[in-house]
Amino acid sequence: MGFATRAPAAIGLLLTALLLGAGCLMPKWLTFLITMAASHGLVSLGIVLLMRGGVVSFGQGLVFAAGGYAAALAFAQLGITDALGLTLIGGAVATLLAAPFAPLLARYRGIFFAMLTLALSMVAYGALVKVSALGGSDGFNMGRATLFGQKLPDAQVGYVLYSVTVVMSALLAIAARRCFDSTRGLVTLAVRENELRVEYLGGSVREAMAINFMLAAFVGGAGGALTVMSLGHIDPNFSYWTTSGEFVFVAILAGWQSVLAVFVASLVLEMVRSFSSLYFPNTWQLALGLFLLFVIRFLPRGIGSLWFRDKP
């Protein structure tokens, strides 16, 4: 059993405490990197949840963008500035958006599931690009969030948003682990293996898949909100298929067993992205592509399989 499954809450809180402590000592570019890794990792976490049910979503950009735009708009139009509140709003709006599609998507598998999720995210992209009130293809900037009513001064905003992101990610990660280990989580794995049997045992495959889709939307939306707050900017590219592709890359790299692996993989991506664009601007996609091929060929269960021994 992966060590984190024995006491996910304890491990998660310990890691969070470590990260929060280390964050005080880190240079700003590193805290920003980790913030992005965590907020993006949440979207990939949703993809992993769906992968456990046997489907790969190529359109999580949709919920990522939904959460991001929701948070940015809530900030600009509704005056809601609290970072935690915005995160929850991002998650909630994305879930609401996903809800009508969930029962529909629950009936698709394989290529068609991938293509339908892709199409939906591109519809959103196409729509967002043309809505000038939202800044069109340039998007718009978002102001600085607050926390518990406190404004965040320049020197501290990076660390505070880092902390909010790390804490929220940790909470959602612990919840995800609980979810994976629950009866619903096990049935999700069973659906991936043999849907017929699950139906004949009295389980509803469609219900399982629809619920998973909405949960993935929630974490994806929360990730979108957290990203926007730290980035200070949102644009339709959040919903573009290449963005979705990167989230899928991380999910594949991580594998479907370990929650921690998702965030490690996300961190790897962010690091490769940062260092490559600094030193080798024309080769970072090449590196990603080769990396992905390597993982698919030699580590088909992702890096999580390296430390996740199967359950006793």
Partner 1 sequence: MILSASGIEKRFGAVVAASGIAVEIAAGARVSLIGSNGAGKTTFVNMITGYLKPDAGRIVFDGRDITALAPREITRLGVARSFQIPQLCTGLTVLDNMLVADACRRNRLSFREAAHRPTALQRADALLARFGLKQHRVRKVAELPGGVRKLLDIAMALTGEPRLLLLDEPTSGVSAEEKFPMMEIIMAALGAAKTTVLFVEHDMDIVERYAERVLAFYAGRIIADGSPAAALASDDVRRYVTGTLRQ
Partner 2 sequence: MEQAVTIFIDGLTYASWLFIVALGLTLVFGVLKILNIAHGSFYAIGAYAAASFVGWGAAMKLAPGWSIVAMLLAAAAVAALLAPLTERGLLRFFYGRDEVLLVLVTYALFLIFEDLTKLVWGANPYYVSEPYALFGNVEVGRQVYVGYDFMLVGMALLVGGLVWWGLNRTRSGKIVLAVIHSEEVAASMGVKVSRVYALAFSVGIFLAALGGAFTAPMISVQPGVSVGVIIVSFAVVIIGGLGSIEGAAIGALIVGLARSLAVHVAPVAELFSIYIVMAVVLMFRPEGLFQRIQARKI
| 80 lies in the binding site for partner 2 (CB under 8 A) | no
Paired tokens of 246: 């990167």
Q: What are the phi and psi torsion angles at 233 (to 5°)?
A: -155, 145
CA proximity to 45, closest of 291, 310, 302, 285: 302
Q: Quick check: 154 binds partner 1 (CB under 8 A)? A: no
Which one among 14, 24, 99, 194 touches partner 1, defined by CB under 8 A?
A: 194
Q: Restricting to residues 90-119, name those near partner 2 by CB under 8 A.
A: 104, 106-116, 118-119
Residue 153's binding partner out of partner 1, partner 2, none, with CB under 5 to 8 Å set by partner kind: none
**Nearer to partner 2 among residue 147 and residue 209 (C-beta):** 209
SS3 62: helix
The alpha carbon of residue 275 and the mean position of all alpha carbons in its chain are separated, in whole angstroms, by 22
Is the distance from CB of 163 to CB of 171 less than 8 angstroms? no
Least gap, CB of 296 to partner 1 (angstroms)? 18
d(CA 217, CA 61): 10
Partner touching 201 among partner 1, partner 2, none, CB below 5 to 8 Å by kind: partner 1
Least distance from C-beta 270 to partner 2, angstroms? Answer: 16
For residue 234, the SS3 value is: strand
Q: How far apart are CA 52 and CA 70, in angstroms?
A: 28
Please, which of residues 199-218 interact with partner 1 by CB under 8 A? 199-204, 208
How many CB atoms sit inside 10 A of residue 55's CB? 22
- Decide: 68 and 227 in contact? Cβ < 8 Å: yes
Q: Which residue among 213, 247, 284, 308 contacts partner 2 (CB under 8 A)?
A: 284
| Choice between 99 and 115, CB closer to partner 1 | 99
The token pair at 303 is: 């890096």
* From partner 2, partner 1, none, interface partner of 224 (C-beta below 5 to 8 A by class): none
- What span, in angstroms and rounded, lies between the C-alpha atoms of 136 and 120? 18
Which of the ranges 86-94, 190-198, 244-252, 271-279 carries the binding residues for partner 1, by CB under 8 A?
Answer: 190-198
Measured distance CA(159)–CA(165) in Å, rounded: 10
Segment lying near partner 1 (by CB under 8 A), choices 21-29, 64-72, 163-171, 178-186? 178-186
CA dist 255 and 298 (Å) reads: 12
Looking at beta carbons only, is 73 or 269 nearer to partner 2? 269
Helices 205-231 and 28-52, interaxial angle, to 10°?
170
Complex with partner 2: residue 248 or 260, whichever CB lies closer: 248
Residues near partner 2 (CB under 8 A): 56, 58, 104, 106-116, 118-120, 122-127, 129-130, 195, 205-206, 241-242, 245, 248-249, 252, 282-286, 288-290, 292-293, 296-297
Binding residues for partner 1, rule: CB under 8 A, are: 178-179, 181-187, 189-190, 192-194, 196-204, 208, 310-312
